[in-house]
Amino acid sequence: MSNKSKGSNTERELVSLFTENGWRALRVAGSGVNDNSPCDVIVGKAGKKGYAIEVKSSRSSYIYIKKSQIEDFLLFSEMMGLRPILALRFIYEGWIFLALDKLQDSGKNWVISKDRAQVEGKRFAQIF
């Protein structure tokens, strides 16, 4: 299975999680493929502010994200009036949701370790 297919399946899994919990969620067409789709999933619920979600998964203990990708993601979220949040899935760990200010600067990328994500992040029920 290609990395693109794995990413798409991960995004679909997250959309299902939100849908099963009373939210409306949709995958953004072309996310990760072109510059016009700066987030992976958008979710909303009546009476709640919506979220723009960047989805990342890894078999490694670290996730690296290009700084330019985060800049575009933040700009998009702000323009759309959505709260930006990262949805991370490390192998065998389940979903962890993380605010962008918890990322660490590694030079040209932002990085988050699995250990830090477990301490700084929150589970689905803690946020949604």
pLDDT in tens, the chain (128 residues): 555 556 688 999 999 999 999 999 999 976 555 556 789 999 999 999 999 999 999 999 999 999 999 999 999 999 999 999 999 999 888 999 999 999 999 999 999 999 999 999 999 999 99
**Predicted TM-score of the model (pTM):** 0.89
Q: What is the CATH number of the domain that holds 102?
A: 3.40.1350.10
- pLDDT of 35 reads 58
Per the structure block, which two tokens stand in for 44? 């909303």
* Domain enclosing residue 42, as ranges: 3-127
Q: DSSP labels for 39-104? A: -SEEEE-TTS--EEEEEEEESSSEEEEEHHHHHHHHHHHHHHT-EEEEEEEETTTEEEEE-GGG-E
- pLDDT of 4 reads 55
- pLDDT of 77 reads 96
Q: Which of 80, 78, 74, 88 is nearest to 117 (CA)?
A: 88
Q: How many domains does the chain have?
A: 1
- pLDDT of 38 reads 87
Q: What is the Cα Rg of the chain in Å? A: 14
Catalytic (active-site) positions: 31
- pLDDT of 8 reads 83
